[in-house]
Amino acid sequence: MEHFLRLERSGVDPSCTTPWKLDSLVPRIYKLLKDCLRHSQNAGAVALRAAEASMGTPLFLSWRLIPKLSILDRPFHLSSNSSAGGVFRAKRRLPVSNNEWGPLTDLPDFSIIGKPSPRFTSEGQRRRAIRNYKYASDIMRLSNEISETKSKFIEGKQQKEALHRRAVDECLKPKGSFSKTFQHIQSDSLPNSD
């Protein structure tokens, strides 16, 4: 109950349920949780439940996290962690890390200028490239063979049809003259089978 009263005294408004109002309350709630975790493990859970009850919304802090926080015995930090040597580098007006700016990052790499770039970086990469080249050349060769075979088949079919037409036109002719008058006379002179 004491923690609930402390939460009310800290200025948490129970009607604050909108997300933009919750953002301003989170640092105060974490400060209260930090104070409660210093005293005992159960006090942190009680304070968290009291904060959720007074605000009417869950704080999305796992209940399993509270015992771990008390074991760590470290306070909550709302600022970002400074990297190793940050103060030393800031005093000397150096970048936070060596990779931000400087001659190694800004100047061109003179060790490879004017030299051909390596084709492959490893033996496995070279082996895979050779295998893929062989696959590609085999695919191209086989597809060319298929297209040549198709074209030869079509040409052979056309030649057979032309040979058949020529044979029909030249060899299988009826005897006699093809003049119209002769055919007319011949058809008139034939006896009727009636």
Mean pLDDT value of segment 17-34: 56
Q: Quick check: 143 pLDDT over 60?
A: yes
pLDDT at residue number 134: 97
Q: Which of 43-52, 65-74, 91-100 has the highest mean pLDDT?
A: 91-100
Q: Residues near 59 by Cβ (< 8 Å), separated by ≥ 6?
A: 26, 29, 48, 51, 52
User: Model pTM greater than 0.75?
Assistant: no
3-class SS of residue 149? helix
Q: Quick check: 106 pLDDT over 70?
A: yes
Q: Where are the chain's structural domains?
A: 2-72, 121-173
